Amino acid sequence: MSEQDNSMTNSALNVLNRTRIVMVHTSHSGNIGSAARAMKTMGLHHLVLVEPKQFPSEEATALSSGATDILERAVVTDTLEEAVADCDFVIGASARSRNLPWPLVNPREMATKVLALPEDAKVALVVGRERSGLTNEELARCHVHVNIPANPDYSSLNVASAVQVLCYELRMSAIASQEQEKPEWGVEWDQPLAKGKQLEGLFDHWEKVLVDIEFLDPNNPRHLMTKLRRFVLRALPDEVEANILRGMLSHIDKKLRRN
């Protein structure tokens, strides 16, 4: 990533370099190219494609309009889980409000949040399918949802246009951050944040324990795990906190087996 952008300090550039765009199940190859172009104009470089319908493709290359380096470096994965496994903070684009409320920000607030993360935090901005966006399950993997304010009568924002707006806000915030910086909780945190993979391990383990103690009925799970997820993600747990919860689960396991 040879980023030669002289308009910003290294620390501001750093935010753009460690934020990836994740496109889930994109149907139209052209949108992948347009998104790459949108990213590059705003100084983002890291594109991850979860099960794209077609990639690489001539149409993506044509519409990338010279941002072919982004396409060449793009990573293709089978699952969203894989795409965000090493991420500290995952943001999901959501067009409409869901049954279960989830922390929701607009693009500007999203950018402010990203800028407030620790200096080495890896961030994923996830956008969904052209027609249907992200599923509830995919949205439950995100710390926070971002909604681009749109005309309620016609909110049909093109997916590459959404990427453009989100990347634009990140760039605007990165530029503004050169004037002042404030960490997320007002203090320098003492621990690195828990990564996506660690959190998924925690949730899997937690679910098993809840079944074991007969608190969660696998035949009627309701929203229990989703609510736990939402709660845990909202706190933006650090590694030690995630380890404490994991350790508690292991001790429950041990105790149940011993008795």
Binding to its own copies (CB under 8 A): which residues in 55-94? 65-67
Whether 236 and 193 have beta carbons less than 8 Å apart is answered as yes
Residue 179 in contact with its own copies, rule: CB under 8 A: no
Cα–Cα distance for residue pair 228/219, rounded to 1 Å: 18
Residue 248 in contact with its own copies, rule: CB under 8 A: yes
The footprint of its own copies on residues 200-239 (CB under 8 A) is 210, 212-215, 224, 227-228, 230-232, 234-237
Q: Rounded to the nearest whole angstrom, what is the least distance from the CB of residue 126 to its own copies in the complex?
A: 17
Backbone phi, then psi, for 137, in 5-degree steps?
-65, -40
Name the residue nearer to its own copies (CB basis): 79 or 189: 189
Tokens 């190219």 -> residue: 33
Name the residue nearer to its own copies (CB basis): 78 or 152: 152
Name the residue nearer to its own copies (CB basis): 122 or 171: 171
Q: Rounded to the nearest whole angstrom, what is the least distance from the CB of residue 180 to its own copies in the complex?
A: 15
Q: How big is the chain by its Cα radius of gyration, in Å?
A: 19
> Of 97, 119, 120, 178, which one interacts with its own copies (CB under 8 A)?
97
Span of 21-29, 77-85, 143-151, 196-204 interacting with its own copies by CB under 8 A? 143-151
Query: For residue 77, what is the DSSP state?
Result: E
The footprint of its own copies on residues 27-56 (CB under 8 A) is 34, 37-38, 40-43
Q: Which residues of 33-63 are buried (b: 16+ CB within 10 A; e: fewer)?
A: bbbbbbbbebbbbbbbbbebeebbbebbbeb
Residues 6+ apart with CB under 8 A from 163: 21, 23, 34, 35, 38, 39, 125, 127
Residue 101 in contact with its own copies, rule: CB under 8 A: yes
